[in-house]
Amino acid sequence: MTSHRIAVVQSSVNVRRLTPGLAPFAEMGYDFWIIDLYRQRDLLLASLKEWKPSAIVTEWLPGLTEALVELGCPVILVPSDEPVAGVFSVDIDDIAIGRLAAEHLIARGYREFAFVGRGDAHYAKQRFEGFQSVVGPVRAYWEEFRDWRAYDEYWRDPDEDMVGWLADLPRPIGIFTAHDPTGRHVLEAAAQARLEVPFAVGVISANDDETVCEMARPALSSIRMPWRSLAAEVVWSLEKIWSGKPPRGPILVQPLEVVARGSSSYEAVSDLIVRRAMQYLVEQVSTLLSVEEWAAKIGVSRRVLERRFVNALGRTPLAMIQHERIERAKNLLSTTDLPVSTIAERCGFQSNERLSVNFKDIVGVPPSSYRTKSREKSGQRIPR
């Protein structure tokens, strides 16, 4: 095939995200040139004019984006659906991200909610919209843009305004933050306000950047993104543009799943019996045999346990056992190559067949089909 020269004008964070998805296309003859988005603008533009790329893949940056369009080759924004004249867009569905965060916090027992995001960020407003579409109007804290975000590093001054805002919120409360650095910042502010996480404040963010999420204390729950799939859609969009059939409107890819960590848990539930029961379930879901056994381990009758669960979570204990087992199975199916029989055992199902029946009833497809679709969504497929 004819070699295409594609300039990838991105921040170092996005280069890490997109490279695994672009790499298979390099083997097919595409020539990718990485250039830092925050390089001095005059030098950046001069380099691009000299190199003469067939296309530019970049992030939205006011002023620079418009200057890149003037170079005369196709420009694709990723990840972004920011409306810019003469630019194509590939993005993750930010409204769907907000909905997924809301559903996670509700399932974890939170009944009060809030949002934190950057006020000038288009994606943050969309994620906020999706969040509120599920939980209704909520309190919001909008951060100002800070120059450090342009660099691949983490360092923050204490934000006394945020500390005071957190201290005034009702508790327990589930907070959705627009992306991971903000989520870590909220956790640090909560610590300064002497608010226990996740007892008083639960936090979930988006992007699942492990360099941020795993370094936070407690570790930050986040929504995993289909970066490989996003990168593939960029190249396929360019193929359509070059063939004279450009895509109409932004291409939106669905987020993958919640990666639950210590910043959000069932400990938000005010009922101490339900809280203790859920802690036990998370630890023993693979060996728990019945609701009766579960109730006995907690020190109550089955009838009491059922009443407490319905009042606190709107679900029966049996439904919660099934929910935890299926969620664990979904995670293992999408992240490991373990045989379905082994996954059934690790999730507490008595047989492979029992996992398959329950999984299809709840998820709508058999475990093997879910694994295939999950890998396709994450971009683990052969480039065209």
For 372, the token pair is 């295939």
What is the Cα–Cα distance from 378 to 230, expressed in whole angstroms?
Answer: 8
For 109, the token pair is 């027992």
Helix axes 272-284, 302-313, angle to 10 degrees: 100
The pLDDT score that the predictor gives to residue 363 is 87
Spell out a b/e string for 10-36, using b for 16 or more CB atoms within 10 Å of the CB, else e.
bbebbbebbbebbebbeeeebebeebe
Range with the largest mean pLDDT of 221-235, 267-281, 326-340:
221-235
Report domain extents, the chain: 4-91+227-255, 94-225+258-266, 270-371
Cβ–Cβ under 8 Å, residues 159 and 186: no
Q: What is the pLDDT of residues 130-162, one digit of tens each?
A: 999 999 999 999 987 665 445 555 566 668 899
The band of 260, judged by pLDDT with boundaries at 50, 70 and 90, is: confident
What is the Cα–Cα distance from 172 to 197, expressed in whole angstroms?
Answer: 9
CATH of domain 270-371: 1.10.10.60
Is the fold of 4-91+227-255 the same as that of 94-225+258-266? yes
The pLDDT score that the predictor gives to residue 148 is 46
Starting at the edge strand that comes first in sequence, how are the strands of the sheet with 139-143 ordered?
139-143, 113-118, 173-177, 201-207, 221-224, 257-259
What is the Cα–Cα distance from 348 to 377, expressed in whole angstroms?
Answer: 27
The band of 30, judged by pLDDT with boundaries at 50, 70 and 90, is: very high
The pLDDT score that the predictor gives to residue 242 is 94
The CATH superfamily holding the domain 94-225+258-266 is Response regulator (3.40.50.2300)
Average pLDDT estimate for 94-121: 92
The band of 81, judged by pLDDT with boundaries at 50, 70 and 90, is: very high
Helix axes 180-192, 160-167, angle to 10 degrees: 70
Average per-residue pLDDT for the chain: 89
Cβ–Cβ under 8 Å, residues 291 and 318: yes
For 297, the token pair is 């381990």
The pLDDT score that the predictor gives to residue 150 is 53
Q: What is the pLDDT of residues 39-68, one digit of tens each?
A: 999 999 999 999 999 999 999 888 899 999
The band of 89, judged by pLDDT with boundaries at 50, 70 and 90, is: very high
Give the largest Cα separation in the chain, rounded.
Answer: 76
Instruction: Compute the Cα dihedral for 10, 128, 320, 267 and give only its sign.
Output: positive
pTM of the model: 0.78
Percent over 90 (pLDDT), the chain = 60
What is the Cα–Cα distance from 73 to 311, expressed in whole angstroms?
Answer: 59
Average pLDDT estimate for 230-254: 94
The one-letter code for the residue type at 213 is C
* CATH architecture group of domain 4-91+227-255: 3-Layer(aba) Sandwich (3.40)
Element (H, E) at 214: none
For 16, the token pair is 């890490």
The one-letter code for the residue type at 369 is S
Position 380 pLDDT exceeds 60: no
The one-letter code for the residue type at 335 is T
